[in-house]
Amino acid sequence: MNEAVVNRAFLQFRSYLRGIKPQEEDACGCGYDHSQDWDVFGIKIDSPSLYELDLARRSHRWTEVNKIMASFFQAFAQEVTIAEGKILKAAGLPKLNTVRDSLEDDKAEQIQEQRTWTSRFAEMFVSKQIDPEIERQLDLIFEIWIRNLIGSGILPDGLDDLPVYHFHTLNSFAIGLQKALGDIQEELDDALLAPANYSNAYLAKLTNDGMTRITTKLFDHYRGLVTGILSEGIAAGDNPLQIAREIHQRVGEGQLWYWNRLARSESAIALDAAFVSEARENGVEHEQWSTASNPCPICAPLDGLIWRTGEGPRVVYDTHPHCLCTKYAYFGEPDKVQPAAAQSLPYL
């Protein structure tokens, strides 16, 4: 393999590793202390979250779910890389590889000194204003990014055409239905079971929530950030590489940790929804909480508790992002049934 290709792959890999760790300004809101330092492969990180990272690398107990989560994250990451490349190009900033390269500690200083001006950037630099044509191109880049993730709002017919978000949440939901059905079937032996049901109101609500989360993140947060970073950088007379690095960290690959969290959490939410839906469909009266092995302090007290079906806390919503807890159908007479949990969003 030629050296340039190897270098490129290596830079991308390092960039990804870095991006999977949240920075302080983007604290994940999971309730943990994010003040601890993290250092891996000799990379110095500003203010990452040990705890989130710890949660983020734990595996789900079901192999199928791990596969879906990994595929979901990969699909998100691919879109991030493509969009970041386009954003940098539209603004006349240095290329993504140059930015990645500049993040290598030993090269940072040296590259800082190089001013790579494109004519597009030079014009903005002189006028101290973002060209409206650049803004228009940025709008388009974000529109395409959103369309690739959640579609244009109308679900296409063929499964092959499903956008990234729908494809993976539907798959997680399907796995959840299958697991719950298997669980129930085992207990009820050859009883006639209700078929898996995809067209339920709760799944529709979840999908809508997820689509809103993604749209808000991209349109309201990242899109505004790009303009903000650009105009501040131009006003301050910053090195274009400096500006590109900031976009990389706050909008591009530096944000991969967010997409990893989203991929894992949305999958877990869909699995949980599938369990409740299948259990209800088959008249299962009780559900039992099951944490993964080595549970976190939020979830540990929930392990083994029993609720009436659909009355327990909601995975992720009522626990935390990256929660890998699941529920099982509980048959027989439980010793103790918990009072209905205060759910942040009740099951429909």
Q: Which residues bind Zn ion (CB under 5 A)?
A: 296, 298-299, 319, 323, 325
CB of 327 to Zn ion, least distance (A): 11
Q: ∠9-81-122 over CA atoms, to 5°?
A: 105
Q: For Zn ion, which is the closer residue by CB, 56 or 299? A: 299
Distance, in Å, from the CA atom of 54 to the CA atom of 66, rounded to the nearest integer, reads 16
DSSP 208-222: HHHHHHHHIIIIIII
Asked if 151 and 159 count as a contact pair (C-beta separation under 8 A), the reply is no
Q: For Zn ion, which is the closer residue by CB, 215 or 338? A: 338
Closest by CA to 136, choosing from 94, 95, 91, is 91
Q: For Zn ion, which is the closer residue by CB, 206 or 299? A: 299
CB of 295 to Zn ion, least distance (A): 6
Q: For Zn ion, which is the closer residue by CB, 68 or 111? A: 68
Distance, in Å, from the CA atom of 11 to the CA atom of 101, rounded to the nearest integer, reads 6
**What own/partner pairs with CB < 8 Å and gap ≥ 24 does 159-168 have?**
164/72, 164/75, 164/76, 164/79, 165/207, 165/210, 165/211, 165/214, 165/266, 166/207, 167/75, 168/68, 168/71, 168/72, 168/75, 168/263, 168/266, 168/267
CB of 147 to Zn ion, least distance (A): 33
CB of 318 to Zn ion, least distance (A): 9
Sheet holding 286-290, edge to edge: 306-308, 286-290, 326-330
Q: For Zn ion, which is the closer residue by CB, 30 or 177? A: 30
Distance, in Å, from the CA atom of 165 to the CA atom of 42, rounded to the nearest integer, reads 34
Q: For Zn ion, which is the closer residue by CB, 59 or 127? A: 59
CB of 276 to Zn ion, least distance (A): 16
Distance, in Å, from the CA atom of 228 to the CA atom of 221, rounded to the nearest integer, reads 10
CB of 264 to Zn ion, least distance (A): 11
In sequence order, the 6+-apart residues with CB closer than 8 A to the CB of 332 are: none
- Strand bridging mode 43-44 / 39-40: antiparallel
CB of 32 to Zn ion, least distance (A): 10
Q: Which two tokens stand for residue 283?
A: 């008249």
Q: For Zn ion, which is the closer residue by CB, 32 or 173? A: 32
CB of 324 to Zn ion, least distance (A): 6
Q: For Zn ion, which is the closer residue by CB, 188 or 298? A: 298
